[in-house]
Amino acid sequence: MNQRFICIHLALCFLRTLSDLLDARNGVAIIATHSPVVLQEVPKSCMWKVLRSREAINIIRPDIETFGENLGVLTREVFLLEVTNSGYHHLLSQSVDSELSYETILKNYNGQIGLEGRTVLKAMIMNRDEGKVQ
């Protein structure tokens, strides 16, 4: 199953149906994923992380509860990806480091920053401006 080409809603319906079937038959399944959305549907007691470094392979449980967890937390904790060092966080951070105002940054992005991005941006600016004499 190639998740890139499956609608998230259909994938989640499939997971729920598979879970019900496995529960009814006392079965198990192995599913490999790079999707935090999939992990959000499964408790940590039902999953393992497979970490590989060259020839060494470690199989461990996630440190956090995964069922219903925030996607950013899952991405960071399970996939070891720090979103603040990449993607839109990095771009917004560069804008904030340029000493631009919130309104100017929004204008530079043509108002095309989503709610989470605007919230992150406001927090970054507040942290930057904390302690400055106005």
In a domain, 62, yes or no: yes
- Phi/psi of residue 51, each to 5°? -110, 130
pLDDT band of residue 33 (cuts 50, 70, 90) is confident
In a domain, 134, yes or no: no
> Is residue 52 domain-shared with residue 102, that is, in the same domain?
no
pLDDT band of residue 77 (cuts 50, 70, 90) is confident
How many structural domains comprise the chain?
Answer: 2
Give me the residues paired with residue 92 across strands: none
Question: Is residue 54 scored above 90 in pLDDT?
Answer: no
> Is residue 56 domain-shared with residue 42, that is, in the same domain?
yes
In a domain, 9, yes or no: yes
> Is residue 54 domain-shared with residue 10, that is, in the same domain?
yes
Q: Which domain holds residue 33?
A: 3-81
Mean pLDDT within 44-70 = 89
In a domain, 88, yes or no: yes
pLDDT value for 86: 67
pLDDT band of residue 134 (cuts 50, 70, 90) is low
pLDDT value for 96: 94
pLDDT value for 10: 84
* Alpha helix (H) residue ranges in 1-101: 8-25, 36-39, 71-79, 87-97
pLDDT value for 113: 94
Say how far apart CA 88 and CA 115 lie, in whole Å: 12
> Is residue 37 domain-shared with residue 99, that is, in the same domain?
no
> Is residue 73 domain-shared with residue 91, that is, in the same domain?
no
> Is residue 88 domain-shared with residue 75, that is, in the same domain?
no
> Is residue 65 domain-shared with residue 10, that is, in the same domain?
yes
> Is residue 89 domain-shared with residue 103, that is, in the same domain?
yes
pLDDT value for 82: 61
The upper half-sphere exposure of residue 96, i.e. CA atoms within 13 Å in the direction of its Cβ, equals 19
Q: Which residues contact 52 (CB under 8 A, 6 or more apart)?
A: 58
